[in-house]
Structure 1
Amino acid sequence: MYGMDVEKIMRLIDFKHHVQDKLHSIYNQNECEVIFYELIENFLGISKINYLVDKEHLILDSEILIMNQKINQLKLNEPLQYVIGNKKIFGINFKLNDSALIPRPETEELCSWILSHQLNDIKILDIGTGSGLIALVLKKHVKNSKVDGWDNSIKALNLAKSNATKNNINVNFKLNDIFNKDIPKNEYDLIVSNPPYVSYDDYNKIHERVKKYEPNNAIFVNDNDILIFYKIIIKKASISLRKNGYVFFECNEKNIDYVFNILKYYRFKNIEIKKDFRGKKRMIKAQK
């Protein structure tokens, strides 16, 4: 009809080239391709399979506008996970933002390792819960469990609580600092933590994208003792765990043998180190 505004349109295959053209200076071709598929899946509802079937599919100018906003965020080095804003892990839809670390594959592996023990009817404490990933996964998949999640960041706890509400999972999240809060004696059957473990000596080795957008206090240990979190958690776990209770950690592979020795010092038994999918020693467990 004459006089009506006609929206501009673009073919999907052309938009793919557009993404590569805008981001090639900071992402390689394979990364640009991953980003393209994530963008169309999350903001257009078009799966990779649907794209491959119909590359000529037309997207409207209003949709392109939204996508270009996301591309501009990526050009500023904002992590893709924050730009997308959510991720499904173990059947749970997690909201993600810069209040907490982006979930890493190693943390998902840690959850899988815990779940492989098929523990039921237990009380769990997640120290440094962040987005609530570990606490919510264990609550959802460990039968008859009671789960507490501690963090010293109000922003992180608000995100964790939002994820719990969004997924209708009941976890007791509390604002606690492990250095200033005692854990009651014989209170838990399992304590798990993915604490800060990167030394500021390695600051320059960390990608600028991580340092700029992710909470640095959840990454770097602001102390001369790189193992300070492990020492205080293990010391308190030796008192607060029930008999035969478990402690699980994610670790830096450079320091995991030291964590092993700390567990031995506090007379933990059945200490085991586990490699991640890259073959690196990144996880450790022990029993009281």
Structure 2
Amino acid sequence: MKIKEYRTQFIQELTPIYDAGEAESFFYLIVEEKHQLKRIDLALHPDLVFSEAEIVIWNSILEQLKQEIPVQYLLGKTSFYGLDFEVNENVLIPRPETEELVEWILKRQKLNPETSGESQNIRILDIGTGSGCIAISLAKNLPNATVFAIDVSEKALATAKKNAENNSVNVTFINQNILETEDLGQQFDIIVSNPPYVRNLEKEEIKKNVLDNEPHLALFVEDNDALIFYKKIAELAQKNLSENGRLYFEINQYLGKEMIDLLEKMNFAAIELRKDIYGNDRMVRASMK
């Protein structure tokens, strides 16, 4: 079968579940990963064909997509901040909003006269690292930084360690339950976290492919204690953030005011709430007074 004919069939079968643009993007992601063919290659060579064996593989992928298994899990990889990351059912799929958080940190470092340039001998801690996307991206772009990453899940850390190796960066990974931690044991110039923040009452807003496949441990918190991770991490930051250090969070879009109130009550300074590309309250930065 010609690839262009299979493409039409592929999109038609997925459009009851996904919109046509998303279904088409899946097709090109998969064809590039499985066959090293880009959209332009197919346009220039309209007579390219799939073998019968290749169609069997594609049909299997198609059926899994119909079950709303994320395409990133099917491919076993995704892109984040210009880097490739392995992903699986043990880690969340990195989001564009989190790339914005990384960009915010890096821009602030470049603007900081005390730590700008290649001599940024700073210490960074990423709490709840998952795939390692934040820690590894920061380590890649701040090569002289010393980067640590914590996660409660050993399986997530195994994936993060692979990602650090694949991206040729050195990150110290620690298996630790942050809610049971009383002291981080050392000082950090940056503490960053994208902890679980989706309340159970918001589950109906979560897409089925996320709800059924991504790890709930990394997603959800109880409705009556939605800021549990933020409060704990902020308490640790009070002890373990350096004098000029900064605390960064990705947050629940509905709890921006609550986050500001929490940090103000805990005597943090220079608190800044920032929206993401979709216009939602998504990131907070604060410093020690």
Range of TM-score over shorter length: over 0.9
- Say which SS state the counterpart of residue 143 (structure 2) adopts: coil
* C-alpha separation in 2, matches of 1:164 and 1:179: 25
Specify the code of the residue in structure 2 equivalent to 1:45.
Q
Distance 1:170 1:131 in 2: 15
- Report the Cα distance in structure 1 between the residues aligned to 2:183 and 2:190, rounded to whole angstroms: 12
Larger Rg: 1
Give CA-to-partner distance per residue, 1:84-117, whole Å, 9 cap, x none.
2112323422001111101111001100111101
CA distance in 2, matches of 1:233, 1:130: 16
Q: How far apart in 1 are the matches of 2:224 and 2:98?
A: 25
Distance in 2 (alpha carbons) for counterparts of 1:183 and 1:166: 31
2:28 — aligned with what? 37
Q: Offset at 1:186?
A: 5.6
When the two structures are superposed, what TM-score results if normalisation uses the length of structure 1?
Answer: 0.93
Instruction: Tell me, yes or no, if the aligned pair for 1:247 and 1:287 is still in contact at 8 Å.
Output: yes
> Residues 128-152 of structure 1, C-alpha deviation per residue, up to 9 Å, x if partnerless?
0000000000111113111111011
Q: Displacement of 1:279 after TM fit?
A: 1.7
Q: Specify the alignment match of 1:192 in structure 2.
A: 192
> In the alignment, what sits opposite 2:73?
82
Match of 1:264 in 2: 264
Moved more, 39-48 or 54-63: 54-63
Q: How many angstroms apart in 2 are the aligned matches of 1:143 and 1:158?
A: 22
Once the two structures are superposed, the pairs formed by residues 103-142 of structure 1 within 5 Å of their partners are: 103-117=94-108, 118=110, 119=115, 120-142=120-142
Code of the aligned partner of 2:272? E
Q: Which residue of structure 1 lines up, in the alignment, with residue 17 of structure 2?
A: 26
How many Å separate the matches in 1 of 2:22 and 2:83? 25
1:160 to 1:185, Cα distance in 2 relative to 1, 3 A: closer
Alignment partners' CA distance in 2, 1:74 and 1:185: 45
Normalised to the residue count of structure 2, the TM-score between the two structures is 0.92
| Structure ranking higher in helix proportion | 2
Q: Distance in 1 between matches of 2:24 and 2:281?
A: 30
Matches within 5 A, 1:61-210: 61-117=52-108, 118=110, 119=115, 120-184=120-184, 187-210=187-210
User: d(CA) in 1 for partners of 2:158 and 2:258?
Assistant: 33
Q: Distance in 2 between matches of 1:94 and 1:164?
A: 9
Aligned-residue CA RMSD in angstroms?
A: 1.4
Shift, 1:223, TM fit:
5.9
Gaps of 5+ in 2: none
* 169-178 vs 27-36, greater mean Cα deviation: 27-36
Distance in 1 (alpha carbons) for counterparts of 2:179 and 2:280: 29
Greater alpha carbon shift after TM alignment, 262-271 vs 104-113: 262-271
Amino acid at match of 2:79: K
Higher mean alpha-carbon deviation, 127-136 vs 175-184, is at 175-184
- Write the distance in 2 (CA, Å) between the matches of 1:151 and 1:228: 16
**Deviation of the 1:127 alpha carbon:** 0.4
Once the two structures are TM-superposed, the CA of residue 183 in structure 1 deviates from its matched residue by: 3.0
Partner residue, 2:279:
279
Alpha-carbon separation, structure 2, partners of 1:143 and 1:66? 40
Alpha-carbon distance in 2 for matches of 1:186, 1:245? 13
Amino acid in the other structure paired with 1:86: K
State the alpha-carbon separation in 1 of the partners of residues 191 and 168 from structure 2: 23
Query: Aligned to 1:94, what secondary structure does the other structure show?
Result: strand
* Offset of residue 203 of structure 1: 1.7
Relative to 1, partners in 2 of residues 1:54 and 1:81: Cα closer, same or farther, differing over 3 Å? same
Tell me the SS of whatever aligns to 1:126: strand
